[in-house]
């Protein structure tokens, strides 16, 4: 099991969290997604490591931008 943290910019509310969670959850291999609009922290748990590019693309798809923390 591996965890990766990202810092997301621009989330302001629960709807924003839900949008990010929805897109990141679609990634193959993702087991758990934790996301907080208050802190901007996105934590992705997966069985094997997922390329940052894939996670960042999912966040972009949701309408936000992120960097690996």
When the beta carbons of 25 and 31 are compared against its own copies, the nearer one is 25
CB 68 within 8 A of CB 6: yes
Start-end of H helices in the chain: 14-25, 52-62
Residues that bind its own copies (CB under 8 A): 12-13, 15-16, 18-19
Angle (CA) 58 35 33, round 5°: 65
Smallest gap from Cβ 12 to its own copies, in A, equals 4
When the beta carbons of 50 and 66 are compared against its own copies, the nearer one is 66
When the beta carbons of 41 and 54 are compared against its own copies, the nearer one is 41
């Amino acid at each position: 099991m591996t965890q990766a943290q990202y810092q997301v910019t621009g989330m302001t509310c629960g709807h924003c969290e839900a949008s990010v969670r929805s897109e990141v959850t679609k990634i193959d291999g993702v087991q758990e997604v934790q996301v907080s609009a208050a802190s901007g922290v996105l934590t992705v748990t997966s069985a094997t490591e997922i390329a940052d590019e894939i996670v960042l693309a999912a966040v972009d798809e949701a309408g936000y931008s992120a960097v690996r923390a």
